[in-house]
Structure 1
């Protein structure tokens, strides 16, 4: 613990030194300078993922330089029910945070709990041109923007550009694997392709283009639809992957695949955005493309989850809190990747691996936003079970039928509950 703390502090010092060298040319703190405050205030920022600790401490230091009246106080919260804890502290215990971190799948719960303030001060910053479509959808509810996008996660295919090229379909990877030959030049490569077939999040993309959960805005519980013909085609192909690559879904992990790829021992694998931090510190020259489709006549579409900052309506310092939320999600976003090891939601940054960064953001922007309404978890659980069943040799028609029946019952119950609530 002490070693991690020391490394975090050294990283902060390094970043501050670099930032100080920018002098007056760096005007990213204008929002802080424009705040009209009558005295010193503290903006408490709650988060429940310790990976953001160093980054938030860095932002706090930089913001203080621009407005000495504002002290940003990052607080790590470990609670069984994070949103309930924020609600109880805000409403019942007079201990409201000013800003809290939220994952997009919990947006409806936060909104219905009365814990969201509209993101309305910086429209020139918070739009699709800067963050992309998925980020804006994920951070909105009921047609209004509430969140300040910080980071995201999604899935994609990554390949070693030294030995491989981008592909579109799983059949192309199979063909490469079947015909691959070891030479003096590529002798470090021990595997063509491996991935974690057990993960719902990674593999949602297989049939993601043919499943509509929650509608365009990912929040309408009564809007769920399936393309039976296409999904069955996907499942039939997905079922063949176990024999094609000999992968037991119970023995391969995402981390193992990321490790092999980051050491240059594997040509292709499916990763999530959180895994890129490990590869970015290596010399592996990698490329990114969409999760491979299950056939030439099929599409893939990844799922995404966005982590955002949200201003608590119970804050006593609204404008200052919104300026701090902007600083966290926009002004200092170029430090997020190196300090928090997360993929930054901003799509317009200048980075070292520009081509891969742009492709990743294109996939993110076009992704399926994980539905935000309460109770949707069962739908995703059933989807995961369906993938597991066919991968393990189960009948495709039976697996699909079970999944579709669950979807139908869930949608019917949601429609009935929605009708009763409006009476």
Structure 2
């Protein structure tokens, strides 16, 4: 690092320390207010501070702290922090030793930074409890660094397929009715052929059970992108519908499933730089499938956002979209106030085709025990309580979805998001590749707008590998998949024509 960079870093740390002092002072004020409001925060007990940045957690954390404080010899004080340099604030407070956070909530992709700075320790449970029996596998992998679980999986975010269930139920019933009509017609014809002619009676419209309709709805939900295209081609849409499938193609979180099962970024725990594979045949093919959807659904990237897509869905203008779990709360509220007059459902995202599966991206928020803290045992105990012992009210109080294995979501949609989470790829935590998501988002944008997928992925892989190895890196070019496909198709036509000529000659 050059002198200018060192000087800039030193000045930045000094500024962060000054900022942290101010925040610590404000944190003290928050703590004092909490002590006045909640008697459980007072008394001659050791105090443990829990830092967090998401205000939506305040109700849940306060309730959990009060409950825990009433039955333990320590008091937990949640402190809401702000600012973009959250981990730097934790580091500065830990080094100063003044009201440092004994534990804090952190996104899993920052765990490597926290561990290398001494701000995270391997989790230690008081009781004989199996972490694998307590937390979902995806959460444990996300919380693991170099073979050690260094955070308690708290809650997650991932994406799934959101669909208008009302539309699909109407379609299911109409198809069941059409099948019943055909069956009735065939039976009548058989009776007529057998000479069993009876007097015409008024036709009865058959009624279908909820189970029959639901079973047909599940059949109608596209399992692959090819199914989605087939659905779009054959769907006789209601007047309000403007499109069958639309999602925010500008955000990597909603695009990642196309490539999630085709590339490797750091292995299962996302922390191994020797396990990186971005440029490969499957990745190229999947990105081509992504590009083809632009030709099929024609989504304008200049006029789209996640919020606008969800708004269109709520108005009944879209049948399917890609959504994150926050949509459940949005739709439930809209159902209550009457602004969403439909039923909805959640399903796993479609695969590319029968041979190529997809995997969505996921983020896991973890409760981390500070390596600088002096109450490690108590901090571990409360972290486990917060994430696995008190989590039944997590969604109701915060809108967050628990990463605990036995969580009772009490909501079918949330259970489907949990299933999607189990099938997801956690964002890697390697410092060397921290800009990967920005670069990959750019690749998706380029491919959507016509850049060759092969070239874009090759360039991305070379840049990431250069960052990891510290030297120039060049990938061996993979023969163009599209050209190979075209050649095979032309060869098939050629041999078919030759066979026809030979057949005519023999005649």
TM-score > 0.5, shorter chain as reference:
yes
Unaligned residue ranges in structure 2 (runs of 5+): 1-39, 169-219, 336-341, 474-507
Report the alpha carbon displacement of residue 190 of structure 1 after superposing the two structures with TM.
5.0
Are the aligned partners of 1:55 and 1:340 in contact in 2 as well (CA < 8 Å)? yes
User: For each residue in 1:246-299, what CA deviation from the matched residue of structure 2 results, as whole angstroms up to 9, or x when unmatched?
Assistant: 211232111222334345553211012233321344555433333223333322
Q: Say whether the 8 Å CA contact 1:163–1:267 is kept in structure 2.
A: yes
Q: Which residue of 2 aligns with 1:225?
A: 277
The answer as to whether partners of 1:147 and 1:310 remain within 8 angstroms in 2 is yes
Going from structure 1 to structure 2, the CA distance change for 1:174 and 1:127 (only over 3 Å counts) comes to same
**What residue in structure 1 maps to residue 396 of structure 2?**
338
One of 47, 61, 67 as aligned partner of 2:66: 61
Higher normalized helix content (fraction of residues):
2
Query: Which of 360, 375, 378 pairs up with 2:435?
Result: 378
Q: Does 1:274 align with 2:326?
A: yes
Alpha-carbon distance in 1 for matches of 2:459, 2:227: 31
**Distance in 1 (alpha carbons) for counterparts of 2:406 and 2:311:** 29
CA separation in 1, counterparts of 2:245 and 2:126? Answer: 44
Whether 1:114 and 2:118 are equivalent positions in the alignment is: yes
Counterpart-to-counterpart distance in 1, 2:149 and 2:240: 48
For residues 9-408 of structure 1, the aligned pairs below 5 Å read 39-67=44-72, 69-121=73-125, 127-164=131-168, 165-183=220-238, 189-226=241-278, 228-262=280-314, 264-283=316-335, 285-354=343-412, 356-408=413-465
- Give the number of aligned pairs: 375
Q: Are the structure 2 counterparts of residues 125 and 202 from structure 1 closer, same or farther at C-alpha, using a change threshold of 3 Å?
A: farther
CA distance in 1 between counterparts of 2:434 and 2:94 reads 27
Contact 1:206–1:291, Cα closer than 8 Å, also in 2:
no
| 8 Å CA contact retained: 2:108, 2:143 | yes
TM-score using structure 1 length: 0.81
Judged with a 3 Å threshold, the aligned counterparts in structure 2 of structure 1 residues 264 and 346 are, in CA distance, closer, same or farther, namely: farther
Q: Deviations over 1:102-147 (max 9, x none)?
A: 1000010000010112212157655333322110011121211121
TM-score, normalisation: structure 2: 0.68
Q: Would the alpha carbon gap of residues 250 and 124 (structure 1) be closer, same or farther in structure 2, given more than 3 Å must change?
A: farther
- Provide Cα deviations, 1:54-86, integer angstroms capped at 9, x if missing partner: 21112122223334x433211111133211111
- Counterparts of 2:347 and 2:472 in 1: how far apart (Å)? 38
Q: Given the superposition, is the C-alpha separation of residues 381 and 156 from structure 1 closer, same or farther in structure 2, using an over 3 Å criterion?
A: same
Q: 2-side partners of 1:263 and 1:381: how far apart?
A: 32
| SS in structure 2 of the partner of residue 115 of structure 1 | coil
Structure 2 Cα separation of the partners of residues 307 and 217 of structure 1: 15
CA contact (8 A) 1:44 1:97 kept: yes
Alpha-carbon deviation of 1:227? 5.5
- C-alpha offsets along residues 389-412 of structure 1, whole Å, 9 cap, x if unaligned? 110112223222212322332332
Aligned alpha-carbon RMSD (Å):
2.6
| Residue 208 of structure 1, CA deviation | 1.0
Task: Return 314-323 or 106-115, whichever deviates more.
Answer: 314-323
1:308–1:224 distance in 2 versus 1, CA, 3 Å: same
Cα distance between partner residues in 1 of 2:471 and 2:231: 46
1:291-333 superposed Cα distances (whole Å, 9 cap, x missing partner): 2233333221112110011111222322322222122211221
- Inter-partner Cα distance in structure 2 for 1:201 and 1:65: 41
Please tell me whether Structure 1 or Structure 2 has the larger radius of gyration of its CA atoms.
2
- Please report how far the alpha carbon of residue 156 of structure 1 lies from its aligned counterpart in structure 2 after TM superposition: 1.7
- Out of 193-202 and 275-284, give the one that drifted further: 275-284
Instruction: Give the C-alpha shift of residue 92 in structure 1.
Output: 2.8
Q: Secondary structure in 2 aligned to 1:209?
A: coil
Query: Structure 1, unaligned stretches of length 5 or more?
Result: 1-31, 33-37, 417-423
1:362 alignment partner, SS class: helix
SS at match of 2:261: helix
